[in-house]
């Protein structure tokens, strides 16, 4: 016999749940309301093996059976995702006039498109892996990069999540991205657009917001924030959602550790952003932004110096 008053605790928890559901107008509990985080986790782990079978697949896998493993694993993972997509679509359209057959068709079409995106997604990830290998003198092989670099793991998750996000499955996408966040400390919203050849070095504390746009061959170091500067509210006092509020980072930019870039600003092609700077204005292409000096007042942010690219400096001399 339990030494705890289990029946009474269970009763009280049921009362609290019922109160919440009533306030949220969620009284229809015939179907599962939300996707399963565990199911999505299993599907993502399987898909990582599908994308990189001999490196992220099972230890007993050999080249001769690679295609069989990829086909079998992919089929199982896609069926799991289809079931979870159906749950998300049912949740979002509850109370509407959409039929169960329509929801089934929407889920099938979305995961069908997701499946056919995987070869291109693998090619995109190969550019990220090469960027990490070529950009880090400590990397001994591309295999080491795939197996152990947190920035690569975060980008694998992000590219899967971004595909789901574009297919109108934002809840599944967010679960996929948050799995990487919890493992790596790298927080990339699935809506962020990231071009090929991205290298997130070290990575801990990196935050990339929903509407950020990152070009090709961009290098980002730890503790970098690409965030929003302000959060306007509507007439009812609720935060407005969906508007472009995060930075645009053009091709070949390097952003060093601790830099904070806020708002819908543009970091021009080839710019170098030094460590621990605070940026809320556009940076021209080829510029070099560094801290000009340190403030003695600890409440004040350090000022920054923007060194114009050579061509621009000559033109204004």
pTM of the predicted structure, to 2 decimals: 0.87
Domain span at residue 95?
29-186
Q: Is residue 223 part of a domain?
A: yes
Q: Is residue 33 part of a domain?
A: yes
Q: Is residue 24 part of a domain?
A: no
Yes or no: say if 264 and 281 are a contact pair by the CB < 8 Å rule. no
If we measure between CA atoms, which residue out of 164, 137, 139, 165 comes closest to residue 152? 139
Helix (H, G, I), strand (E, B) or coil at 305: strand
Query: Which of the listed residues 154, 186, 218 is the one where a domain comes to its end?
Result: 186
Tokens encoding 172: 């599944």
Q: Is residue 199 part of a domain?
A: no
Q: Looking at residue 167, which CATH number applies to its domain?
A: 1.10.3130.10
**Are both 161 and 224 inside the same structural domain?**
no
In sequence order, what are the residues at sequence separation of 6 or more whose Cβ sits closer than 8 angstroms to the Cβ of residue 48?
56, 156
**Are both 266 and 296 inside the same structural domain?**
yes
Q: Is residue 111 part of a domain?
A: yes
Strand ranges for the chain from DSSP E:
187-188, 193-194, 199-200, 207-208, 213-214, 219-220, 225-227, 248-249, 254-255, 260-262, 266-267, 272-273, 278-279, 288-293, 303-307
Q: Is residue 41 part of a domain?
A: yes
**Are both 286 and 175 inside the same structural domain?**
no
Q: Is residue 20 part of a domain?
A: no
Q: Is residue 275 part of a domain?
A: yes
**Are both 251 and 297 inside the same structural domain?**
yes
The tens-digit pLDDT sequence of the chain (317 residues) is 578 999 999 999 999 998 988 887 775 666 677 899 999 999 999 999 999 999 999 999 999 999 999 999 999 999 999 999 999 998 888 766 788 899 999 999 999 999 999 999 999 999 999 999 999 999 999 999 999 999 999 999 999 999 999 999 999 999 999 999 999 999 999 999 999 999 999 999 999 999 999 999 999 999 999 999 987 788 777 777 878 999 999 999 999 999 999 999 999 999 999 999 999 999 999 999 998 654 444 455 556 677 767 554 333 22
If we measure between CA atoms, which residue out of 301, 261, 300 comes closest to residue 283? 261
């Amino acid at each position: 016999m339990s030494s705890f008053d289990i029946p009474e605790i269970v009763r009280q928890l049921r009362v609290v749940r019922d109160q919440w559901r009533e306030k949220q107008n969620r009284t229809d509990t015939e179907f599962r309301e939300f996707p399963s985080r565990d199911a999505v986790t299993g599907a993502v782990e399987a898909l990582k093996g599908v994308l990189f079978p001999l490196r992220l697949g099972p230890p007993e896998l050999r080249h001769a059976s690679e295609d069989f493993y990829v086909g079998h694993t992919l089929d199982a993972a896609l069926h799991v995702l289809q079931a979870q997509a159906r749950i998300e679509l049912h949740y979002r359209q509850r109370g509407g006039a959409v039929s169960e057959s329509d929801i089934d068709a929407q889920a099938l079409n979305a995961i069908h498109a997701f499946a056919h995106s995987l070869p291109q997604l693998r090619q995109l990830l190969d550019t990220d892996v090469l960027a990490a290998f070529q950009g880090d003198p400590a990397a001994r092989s591309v295999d080491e990069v795939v197996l152990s670099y947190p920035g690569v793991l975060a980008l694998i998750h992000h590219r899967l999540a971004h595909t789901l996000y574009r297919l109108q499955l934002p809840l599944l996408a967010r679960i996929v991205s948050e799995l990487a966040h919890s493992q790596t400390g790298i927080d990339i919203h699935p809506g962020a657009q990231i071009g090929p050849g991205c290298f997130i070095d070290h990575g801990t504390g990196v935050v990339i917001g929903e509407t950020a746009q990152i070009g090709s061959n961009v290098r980002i170091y730890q503790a970098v924030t690409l965030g929003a500067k302000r959060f306007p509210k509507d007439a009812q006092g609720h935060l407005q959602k969906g508007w472009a509020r995060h930075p645009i980072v053009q091709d070949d930019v390097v952003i060093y550790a601790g830099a904070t870039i806020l708002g819908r600003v543009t970091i021009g092609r080839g710019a170098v952003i030094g460590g621990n700077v605070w940026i809320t204005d556009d940076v021209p292409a080829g510029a070099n932004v560094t801290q000009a000096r340190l403030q003695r007042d600890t409440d004040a942010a350090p000022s920054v110096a923007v060194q114009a690219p050579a061509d621009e400096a000559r033109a204004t001399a």
